[in-house]
């Protein structure tokens, strides 16, 4: 019994010594794992062109847009085009029923013929009375009556001519022609509809047709007072749309307002972009990019390398050294370093948050 107890105590002592011997090694390994070199991604400082850009979102609009309406009211007799049709300047698009107008024109022309005959007769009569007046064969009162008759006949002729011209005008404007080449964007009425332009309602769904020319499009954006002084008329701009993510459309600034909007306190800027292939669609959104300044041979690093907008971590003999920098031009991804870095140095771009000055680091990748 005593021997068994001694054996058990011996076994416990051996196990305890073994555990004591293993614990420092495990703690040391854990410590090495905890305080090992931080793995980071770095960027090699180099020189390239950098541009500072302003980006705005606006609605794409057609350069020209008009609602086709006759100048007079009436019943629509025919519409010669459909939505999506391309039309040329001067092409007949629609017509009103002109039967009544043609009858009015015939009546006016007949009245004009009567007035012309009366005016001619009155003129001949006036000539005879003028000769008699010179010979003192008629009284002044008789001559004045003939002269008044002639003046009245001339006035009636002028009135008849005006009536004819009005009837011709009504006939002309009852035929609706395209004022410019473009595309029929909307058909707002049907044959047989009675339209009265004097009733108002000149919205997108009024009139007979809506004609657009978007071979050139325009985009209006609102710019702050700080940025508007950096934008000039004629400046290059680029438009991008979600439908063509890999394509940029070059345009020009055509309008820079000198007065701010009284409500938004911002300045209106308009950009026009050529759209000969009609890829850009009116009433859709687009992003406008304006390059306001650039540096051809700038020392650049990624935006994400900079902490607190003033310092970076530089790789030096496997350690992270904190370096304060002076920043120049910036865009959405890169920035110019004016002072604080040299070409060819490696700056930490991933894994830099939480780094300590002098911490050991391991470079996993050099990002281009």
Q: What percent of the chain has pLDDT over 90?
A: 62
Q: What is residue 260's predicted lDDT score, i.e. its pLDDT?
A: 94
Express each pLDDT in 62-83 by its tens digit. Answer: 999 999 988 888 999 999 999 9
Q: What is the pLDDT of residues 307-351, one digit of tens each?
A: 998 999 999 999 999 999 999 988 878 999 999 999 999 999 999
Spatial distance between the Cα atoms of 77 and 89, rounded to a whole number of angstroms? 21
Interval 96-110 mean pLDDT? 91
pLDDT confidence bin for 361, thresholds 50/70/90: very high
The average pLDDT across 221-234 equals 93
What tokens appear for 324 in the block? 């304060």
Q: What is the pLDDT of residue 10?
A: 46
Two structure tokens written together for 69 = 């309406």
What's the pLDDT at 7? 45
What's the token pair of residue 153? 């006949």
Q: Residue 163's closest CA among 122, 210, 105?
A: 105
What is the C-alpha to C-alpha distance for residues 207 and 17, in angstroms, rounded to an integer? 100
130 pLDDT above the threshold of 60 = yes
Picking from 98, 86, 65, the residue whose alpha carbon sits closest to that of residue 202 is 65
Report the b/e string of 17-27 with b at 16+ CB within 10 A. Answer: eeeeeeeeeee
- Residue 37 is predicted with a pLDDT of 83
Whether residue 197 is predicted with pLDDT greater than 80 in this model: the reply is no
Residue of 185, 118, 186, 180 whose CA lies nearest to 152: 118
Residue 178 has pLDDT above 70, yes or no: yes
Q: How far apart are CA 121 and CA 128, in angstroms?
A: 11
Q: For the segment 331-342, what is each residue's pLDDT rounded down to a tens digit?
A: 878 999 999 999
- pLDDT category, 354, cuts 50, 70, 90? confident
Residues 6+ apart with CB under 8 A from 260: 225, 266, 267
DSSP for 52-115 reads: EEEEEEEEEEEEEEEEE--SS-EEEEEE---TT-EE-TT-EEEEE--HHHHHHHHHHHHHHHHH
Q: Angle, to 10 degrees, between the axis of helix 140-173 and the axis of helix 99-134?
A: 160
Say what the pLDDT of residue 364 is: 92
**What are the structural domains of the chain?**
38-53+295-367 (2.40.420.20), 55-60+213-293 (2.40.30.170), 70-97+177-207 (2.40.50.100), 101-173 (1.10.287.470)
DSSP notation for 268-334: EEEEEEE-TT--S-TT-EEEEEEEEEEEEEEEEEEGGG-BTTTEEEEEETTEEEEEE-EEEEE-SSE
Average pLDDT over residues 229-241: 93
The pLDDT confidence band at residue 163, using thresholds 50, 70 and 90, is: very high
The reported pLDDT for the residue numbered 11 is 45
Res. 145 pLDDT band, cuts 50 70 90: confident
Q: Which of 42-56, 124-138, 302-316, 330-344 has the lowest mean pLDDT?
A: 124-138
C-alpha dist (Å) from residue 84 to 185, 197, 210, 285, 343: 6, 24, 10, 21, 57
Are 270 and 255 within 8 A, CB to CB?
Answer: yes
Q: What is the pLDDT of residues 4-32, one digit of tens each?
A: 544 444 444 344 444 444 444 444 444 44
Per the prediction, the chain carries an average pLDDT of 86
* CA 184 from centroid of its chain's CA atoms: 20
Phi and psi based region of residue 340 (left: phi greater than 0; alpha: psi -120 to 50; beta: remaining): left
Write the pLDDT tens digit of every residue in 237-287.
Answer: 999 999 999 999 999 999 999 999 999 999 999 999 999 999 999 999 999
Asked whether the predicted pLDDT for residue 215 surpasses 90, the reply is: yes
Q: In degrees to the nearest 10, what's the CA dihedral of 301, 304, 307, 309? A: 70
Collapse the DSSP code of 158 into the 3-class scheme (helix H, G, I; strand E, B; otherwise coil) and give the result. helix
Element (H, E) at 335: strand 334-339
Least confident of 21-30, 109-118, 197-206, 312-321: 21-30
DSSP state of 150: H
Most confident of the following: 124-133, 136-145, 229-238: 229-238
Give pLDDT, residue 293: 83
Render the burial of 339-351: b for 16+ CB within 10 Å, e for the rest.
ebbeeebbbbbbb
At 142, list the tokens. 């008789």
Q: Comparing C-alpha atoms, which of 2, 60, 351, 366 is closest to residue 221?
A: 60
Alpha-carbon span 211 to 202, nearest angstrom: 13
Average pLDDT over residues 194-209: 67
pLDDT of residue 15: 41
């Amino acid at each position: 019994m005593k021997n068994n107890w001694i054996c058990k105590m011996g076994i416990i002592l051996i196990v305890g010594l073994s555990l004591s011997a293993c614990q420092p090694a495990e703690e040391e390994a854990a410590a090495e794992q905890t305080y090992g070199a931080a793995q980071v991604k770095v960027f090699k400082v180099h020189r390239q062109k950098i541009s500072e850009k302003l980006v705005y979102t606006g609605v794409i609009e057609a350069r020209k847009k008009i609602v086709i309406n006759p100048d007079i009211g009436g019943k629509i007799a025919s519409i010669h085009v459909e939505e999506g049709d391309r039309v040329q300047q001067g092409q007949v698009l629609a017509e009103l029923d002109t039967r009544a107008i043609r009858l009015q024109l015939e009546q006016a022309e007949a009245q004009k013929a009567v007035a012309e005959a009366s005016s001619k007769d009155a003129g001949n009569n006036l000539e005879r009375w003028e000769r008699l007046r010179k010979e003192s064969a008629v009284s002044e009162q008789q001559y004045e009556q003939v002269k008044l008759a002639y003046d009245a006949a001339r006035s009636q002729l002028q009135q008849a001519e005006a009536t004819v011209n009005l009837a011709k005008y009504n006939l002309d404007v009852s035929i609706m022609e395209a004022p410019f080449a473009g595309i029929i964007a909307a058909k707002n009425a049907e044959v047989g509809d009675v339209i009265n332009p004097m009733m108002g309602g000149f919205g997108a769904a009024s009139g007979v047709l809506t004609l657009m020319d978007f071979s050139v499009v325009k985009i209006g954006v609102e710019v702050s007072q700080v940025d508007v002084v950096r934008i000039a008329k004629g400046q290059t701009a680029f438009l991008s749309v979600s439908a063509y993510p890999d394509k940029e459309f070059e345009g020009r600034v055509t309008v820079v307002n000198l007065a701010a909007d009284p409500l938004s306190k911002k300045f209106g800027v308009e950009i026009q972009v050529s759209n000969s292939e009609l890829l850009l669609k009116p009433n859709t959104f687009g992003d406008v990019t304006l390059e306001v300044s650039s540096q051809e041979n700038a020392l650049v690093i990624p935006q994400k390398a900079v902490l607190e907008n003033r310092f970076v971590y530089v790789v030096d003999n496997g350690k992270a050294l904190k370096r304060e920098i002076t920043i120049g031009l910036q865009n959405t991804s890169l920035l110019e370093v004016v002072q604080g870095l040299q070409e060819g140095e490696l700056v930490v771009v991933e894994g830099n948050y939480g780094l300590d000055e002098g911490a050991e680091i391991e470079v996993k990748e050099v990002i281009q």
